[in-house]
Chain A
């Protein structure tokens, strides 16, 4: 209590210096919180979009290693040149049976799809497109497409013989509306289709290029009856994607790619980004701690005579040390408290700034409000204040009172 009183009196008596030190810590903590919120917010937002937009696991009709050709299997010791390789029929074998088998154990849902390429033609305009054949009953369980529909629904695909759902940007480019009859030129087939719905995901590349038709329509375009070249899986816990993908691949033999694997390079760049972020945050707080060191050093220097007196009265060195460490902690605690408020206000301010991106719909900066950011910033600030205070405090506690008293007399 006495230690706290003396510490508080010292800190209070130097209002201007204390305010500067407090502001140093507060600004450090505040900006650290803001930076962390911004970095993690953008990362979370990006991951959320990835997780929302893409299947959590994509099972394709490929193998990790290409299957051996018949000549290699039959004549392992010999080498042949100029043989025509065996052409295998594309697509997943027994796709419905595979989906039913997956449905039995995966914590989520699976849906078939047919991926093919086509050119859409309407009113003399041609636009290339990625055609995705879907099952409107299963699709809502594996993607957010149903929620992105602006006109029509996924079930509208059943309304016409060859129905098609297109993105709003594709619709703008073609000049087509719901009800328009367009020509779809596939790799091997051509058909007339009616636009029955328009979607908008907010991701320009998808809104411009992707179109959805029924599985059988896509099969006609690909001229492959019964073709299903992709099974898309959505999981209850997207984070389990890696593990589930591994198991699916082991059970089906088909290449199963989790969303993490598909975006490995992006996700690993987040690690580097986080290292940079925490380095910068640490540097900000380190600079702030110099302010604390400065004030505690100044106080101990100015208070050398008082320290000598306290020690001559019988105060132990440890007590003197505690006084100055506590002063640093007081600055750290008050600074961190102010920093929390500043950080929160900065986040609110940044969060209200409208941010326009020509490729995305996000209008506001994504920010993550996490108690962990506040705890880390305050923890680092307190630790650095403690270290900054301890060094001069230890020096003060070691002062020999006689040297000071002699100097003063």
Chain B
């Protein structure tokens, strides 16, 4: 049970080393807390460990040492199924590339996480998928395949899919990285609204410092270490 001020996601001395002939440290001794309703930008140069940190926070990867806590609950003891269940219920992912399943319609793609969770009936699942798509301006495209949409539209579908199970946290890895400036702005606004209007928490990895400054908090990584963690001017 977490209170309003408790962090939704915490990293405690998290280190991730890729084994190999020459082991590579991706994330080094990171401590951080992500609280409810935060819009956090993770920035840094290429290879600084931004995406790696996001994958660790999203339980897609396991730390070599340290621990990630979700809602105050440790995850080190969790098996793969438990981590999968936590991702399904608590976290939503948006990647740089939309990663929609090409054989399925837009609606079916959005319905996937809901169907995997299995809490809603078929009708409720469909209705929620349509509502999410409508809220992102994609109502007319529900029956189309991903390859019939533009890059920006696909990324919005990916956001809708991330929201399918109404998770409190959205983790976005370069969500505007492959989009033109107009689409990029649209996707950013959607994420902004998720925080401001829907009370979600968004952690977004970005190269775009302009966008990062329009978020609430900016964490800067260099060589896997947090070198700066402060509210942005926008938050102030």
Contacts and interface: CB of A to CB of B under 8 A. Distances in A.
Nearest to B83: A314
A350 interface: no
Interface in A354-409: 400-402, 405-406, 408-409
Contacts of A309: 99, 101
Interface of B: 51, 55, 58, 60-61, 80-81, 84-89, 93, 95-97, 99, 101, 103-104, 112-113, 115-117, 161, 173-174
Given A1-B115, A313-B93, A313-B116, 7 more contacts: A6-B101, A12-B103, A312-B58, A313-B113, A314-B87, A400-B61, A405-B55
Nearest to A306: B101
Contact of A2 (B93, B96, B99, B116): B116
A305 B103 contact: no
A306 B100 CA distance: 8
A313 B103 contact: no
B117 A409 contact: no
Nearest to A409: B96
Interface residues of A, number: 28
Contacts of A318: 81
A401 B60 contact: yes
Contacts of B96: 409
**What 10 A-B pairs come out closest when comparing CB atoms?**
A314-B88, A314-B87, A309-B99, A9-B103, A2-B115, A13-B103, A402-B61, A316-B84, A314-B84, A409-B96
Interface string A308-325: 111111111111000000
A10 interface: yes
Contacts of B95: 405, 409
A266 to B, nearest CB: 58
A402 to B, nearest CB: 5
A1 to B, nearest CB: 8
A6 B101 CA distance: 10
A13 B97 CA distance: 22
B93 A312 contact: yes
A315 B116 contact: yes
Nearest to B99: A309
A357 to B, nearest CB: 56
Chain B interface main SS type: helix
B182 to A, nearest CB: 22
Q: Point out which of A10, A306, A408, A409 has the most chain B C-beta atoms below 10 A from its C-beta.
A: A409
B119 to A, nearest CB: 12
Contacts of A401: 60
A313 B87 contact: yes
A316 B78 CA distance: 13
A406 B55 CA distance: 10
Given A314-B85, A409-B51, A409-B173, A319 B60 contact: no
A314 B119 CA distance: 14
Contacts of A315: 84, 88, 116
B97 A317 contact: no
B117 A314 contact: yes
A9 B89 contact: no
B113 to A, nearest CB: 5
A402 B87 CA distance: 14
B116 A319 contact: yes
A314 B115 CA distance: 11
Nearest to A313: B113
A318 B84 CA distance: 11
A312 B80 CA distance: 11
A406 B51 CA distance: 9
Contacts of B51: 406, 409
8 contacts: A309-B101, A310-B112, A312-B87, A312-B93, A313-B88, A314-B87, A409-B96, A409-B97
Nearest to B101: A306
Contacts of A408: 97, 99
A13 B102 CA distance: 10
A340 to B, nearest CB: 29
A310 B113 CA distance: 8
